[in-house]
Structure 1
Amino acid sequence: MSSLLLALCLFLMIKCTRAQDTQSDLTITVVNNCPYTIWPAIQPNSGHLILQRGGFALPALTHHSFPAPPHPWSGRMWARTNCAATPTGGFACATGDCHTNSTDCNGSSGSTPATLAQLNLRGGASLDACDYGVSLVDGYNAAMTVSAHEGRGACPVVGCGADLLATCPERLRVWDRQGEDVVACKSGCQAYGTDELCCRNEYGSVRRCRASGCSEFFKQACPATYTYAQDKSWPTPECYAPRELKQQNIPCCAQTGQKD
């Protein structure tokens, strides 16, 4: 059985084999490698199935496995952090919240800033291609890496294992409600809202959308990520039928960054 491993401050393991081998040959395992609970969220791209009702709780140092569809699937995953029940009986998270008042996101997107894993599974003519990436275009809230072992083609380790909450520039910091801890790091677009930093309107083309000082903060710390809308500095992996992966012992991300 072959597999693909991702890490979201936690780790995600995705087992991929050739589609003709079996109709149940794709398993996604999410492993929380942090000493606190996180709430992974999953949003499919348009036309694709919602997996695991879009989200669930994952206690510290545990994992959760579930089958993927037998046909091509694409979407994104991220970690929701600092989540809790609300006084009115709802549910909310300090970062990555999908605003459903539930642990289930049901296909909804999450609030930014959030570190995103972008996945395309069962691609190619033989349905055995897996390409993946980690994006900081919408900011950062948790460490995340993706790696593959013994696959065919391009199967590099990608992502960000660094704790950027501790080093986030002041203008990009997101504080908790008490104003005591940094819980996320904004993108330049979210912090300043200009067309240039958001790569929109006249800056929406490949020619006009460029790296900025904000995106370079993320790129220098985590070069194997995408840090602005037209970032082409890191090639998209195209990994075919990877073998089972071993968990990478990256430093666990800090839950919060302490206020100065």
Structure 2
Amino acid sequence: MKNVAAASLLFAAGVAADRTFTVVNNCDYTIWSYFTGAGTSAPTYPTGWEAAAGTSVTFSVPEDWNSGRIWGRRDCDFSASSDPSTSCADGGCNGGLECAKTGGRPPATVAEFTLGADGTDNYDVSLVDGFNLPMSVTNNVNCAVADCPVDLNANCPTEIKGPYDSSGNAVGCKSACEANLDGDQSNSPNCCSGSYNTPATCPSSGVKDYSYFKSNCPNSYAYAYDESSGTALWTCASNLGADYTITFCPSSSTTTKRGVHMLDRSFNVTGRV
């Protein structure tokens, strides 16, 4: 694997970061990666970059990095669009290549992190905003793998399929919320919003196409209250000092190992409705 921009970064305060993150593009096509998060200090590495097939980027984040989100964008052209959020077929954001600290435009597969919360790292692969790229989150200390390692686009149910590239191929699979299947995103069981905004009033059985996402990617966060599945939110003891690798289009060899997971229902997963 060619490392195009490995770096051991220092932070503004002059203190070395505590954790190393590596983002790998194992797809056979270019994607555009982005990350955002908060902590006692901020990485100096650019938050958005073009990732050619077979390349990786390594950077450091503070030990208390929280609200961390990493995702990939497809079919981007930042030279022509007057609206940066629509510069990519999916996952685009205001700011173009380097987003203005905003989330990506759904559908987008997202890796989420909060490190060091009460002695625990919390992480997941989220399909709450739909799916655009296969993804895995692995680590170097034998904690659990979070992943959605298969491509959900080709067989995505018609009602939520898309957007499409210039050749007419699906490059995304929307969530039922994003597709607005019930016509009212403000009070929707698909969005877990309004009168459906609690785990009790928004069970997975009421979310259209939940089973498509969860059956294909059982170790992912498939809807807003998916903690009850036991295979959505993953944890690792912070004192292990785990370094994490986020791989787009992971091979089967990166997703066969499963660590022991524990649920932390107090974790505030970013991007939830």
Check whether the contact 2:108–2:133 (CA below 8 A) recurs between aligned residues: yes
Q: Give the CA deviation at 1:44.
A: 2.0
TM-score under structure 2 length normalisation: 0.72
Check whether the contact 2:121–2:235 (CA below 8 A) recurs between aligned residues: yes
**Match of residue 43 from structure 1:** 36
Give distance in 2, aligned partners of 1:95 and 1:23. 34
Q: Which runs of 5+ in 1 are unaligned?
A: 1-12, 16-21, 253-260
**Match of residue 249 from structure 1:** 251
Matched, 1:157 2:145: yes
SS in 2 for 1:57: strand
**Equivalence map 1:48-197=2 (5 Å):** 49=42, 52-87=45-80, 92-100=87-95, 102-125=96-119, 129-151=120-142, 155-176=143-164, 178=166, 180-191=168-179, 192=181, 193-194=183-184, 195-197=188-190
Change (3 A) 1:46 1:150: closer
Give distance in 2, aligned partners of 1:23 and 1:235. 31
Cα deviations across residues 147-183 of structure 1 (Å, max 9, x unaligned)?
A: 23434xxx21111001101110111111326471101
Aligned AA for 1:204?
N
Q: Which runs of 5+ in 2 are unaligned?
A: 1-5, 9-14, 255-273
Give distance in 2, aligned partners of 1:43 and 1:124. 21
Give distance in 1, aligned partners of 2:83 and 2:177. 30
Give distance in 2, aligned partners of 1:203 and 1:245. 34
SS in 2 for 1:76: strand
Matched, 1:24 2:17: yes
Cα deviations across residues 81-121 of structure 1 (Å, max 9, x unaligned)?
A: 11123436886111100132x31113121101111111112
Identity of aligned residues (%): 32
**Equivalence map 1:204-223=2 (5 Å):** 204-211=197-204, 212-223=207-218
Q: Give the CA deviation at 1:217.
A: 0.8
Aligned AA for 1:208?
T
TM-score under structure 1 length normalisation: 0.76
Compute the RMSD of aligned alpha carbons. 3.1
SS in 2 for 1:202: helix
Q: How many residues align?
A: 226
Give distance in 1, aligned partners of 2:44 and 2:67. 11
Check whether the contact 2:75–2:165 (CA below 8 A) recurs between aligned residues: no
Check whether the contact 1:165–1:183 (CA below 8 A) recurs between aligned residues: yes
Structure 1 or 2: more strand by fraction:
1
